[in-house]
Structure 1
Amino acid sequence: MSRVRVATPLGLHIPGTSVVHRAPAGLKLALLAALGTVVAFVREPLPALGLLGFVAATWLLARLPLRALRQVRGVAVLLVALGAFRWWAAGPGAAVGMVAGLSAVVLAAAVVTATTPTDEIVAVLVRGLRALARVPLLGRVVVPESFALAVALVLRTVPTLLDVAQGARDAARARGVRGPRAWLLPTLLRTVGHAVRTGEAIHARGLLDTARTS
């Protein structure tokens, strides 16, 4: 069965029939949160590498294409820089542990967003935040639909904007133009265009109207 990558202003989803695709969105988000919590306390390289290996196995189990890794390439550059600093400050073991742990979280987030439609992520977050909204005082400041939408957009917008910047740089190089000025303006214009399309998608779904009336 062929898979088609479905890109929308609200995210990038790669349809599939694997067990990871079929898993409930709430379960995947809960496991992602648990992984992030565990990584926060992991300091040794071997456990961190084990977590990274487990997440990589999950990627293979989901049968996701390697091209989907492009959504995390911008983060990979940051991880390399952090790893170099950690190596200098605390040695190779600490650097490997930190980079492997953070890489596991980043890759796990990529698995969740690639195997879960954004609408399902929003729905799960809304249900969880509605429970918080019932708590006294919190109910006055928590707007479940708006907050859940913001989180879901962040999951997909950051990799998208990194791709926009990379595309603008590649286009500038292809024209033989060098320097930041050659790609900053195109990046800005494409970013604004992405924001407009995202706003139109939100409006079409009536999510903001729902948030105001809840």
Structure 2
Amino acid sequence: MSLGLYLHRDSPVHTASAGAKMAGLLGAGLGLLLFPSPPVLGTALAATLGLFALARIHPRELAPMARLLAWMLVPLFLLHGWLAGWDTAVQTVLRLALLLLLATLVSLTTRASDQLETLQRALRPLARFGVSPARLSLMLSLTLRFIPLMATWVREVREAQSVRGLERDPLALLVPLLVKTLRTADALAEAIDARCFDSEDPS
């Protein structure tokens, strides 16, 4: 099983350190949480699209993720609009979409090993409180990579089902996607056991 979603490009975003990108993601999340006004959201959207362009990631490469986001966010938008009003729904969904896009950008421009090393180093002080930096850093790194990984699965399944003429059948997409997710979860559990994350962290 490979979680290597890194896209090699010669860009300033790729050469930036993993720590800087993760700190930027954290700062963006806090900013969107504290200042959800339309001007801030509009500026954040423009900046996010600009970062993808700066990273030389073509919109075509984001199409599978865009479809996945639509499946996730459209029902949320409709439910939130019905319960809390459409203005609030737009702000909520746009904030979530921006965070997912930025997390995807970090995943696509940062090697998994660099993410793990940076997170484990940042979380090392928590070891004195009984928290395993290795385990927690792996969890956070996998969380960052989950959305683009799911988007890759959606593209693979859609391509396979289109050959069979089933591209318009939702079940033909959802069932294989669920199977892939469960298999990946099993593989991750085996990998974690193999790396002995249940034992005391040596750091």
TM-score bin (small chain): 0.7 to 0.9
Deviation per residue, 1:156-205 (Å, 9 max, x gap): 2344245435644654454356573x5565445544554566567x47xx
Secondary structure at the residue paired with 1:13?
coil
For the aligned residues, what is the CA RMSD? 3.0
Tell me, in whole angstroms, the C-alpha distance in 2 between the residues paired with 1:76 and 1:179: 14
Residue 81 (structure 1) aligned with residue 75 (structure 2): yes
Structure 1 partner of 2:33: 40
Structure 1 partner of 2:135: 146
Query: Cα distance 1:74–1:183, how it changes in 2: closer, same or farther (>3 A)?
Result: closer
Query: Cα distance 1:85–1:195, how it changes in 2: closer, same or farther (>3 A)?
Result: closer
Which consecutive unaligned segments of at least 5 residues does structure 1 have? 1-7
- TM-score under structure 1 length normalisation: 0.76
Within-5 A mapping of 1:1-214: 9-69=2-62, 70-134=64-128, 138=129, 140=130, 142-164=131-153, 167-168=156-157, 171-172=160-161, 174-176=163-165, 178=169, 180=171, 182=172, 186-191=176-181, 193-195=183-185, 202=191, 208-209=195-196, 212=199, 214=202
Cα distance, 1:144 vs structure 2: 0.7
Which consecutive unaligned segments of at least 5 residues does structure 2 have? none
Contact (CA 8 Å) 1:11, 1:157: kept in 2 or not? no
| Higher RCO (CA 8 Å, separation ≥ 6 residues) | 2
Contact (CA 8 Å) 1:172, 1:183: kept in 2 or not? yes
Tell me, in whole angstroms, the C-alpha distance in 2 between the residues paired with 1:169 and 1:108: 25
Query: Cα distance 1:91–1:184, how it changes in 2: closer, same or farther (>3 A)?
Result: closer
Which amino acid in 2 is paired with 1:149?
L
Which amino acid in 2 is paired with 1:64?
I
Tell me the percent identity: 31
- TM-score under structure 2 length normalisation: 0.79
Cα distance, 1:132 vs structure 2: 1.9
Tell me, in whole angstroms, the C-alpha distance in 1 between the residues paired with 2:187 and 2:142: 12
Tell me, in whole angstroms, the C-alpha distance in 2 between the residues paired with 1:184 and 1:60: 31
Query: Cα distance 1:68–1:166, how it changes in 2: closer, same or farther (>3 A)?
Result: closer
Cα distance, 1:117 vs structure 2: 0.4
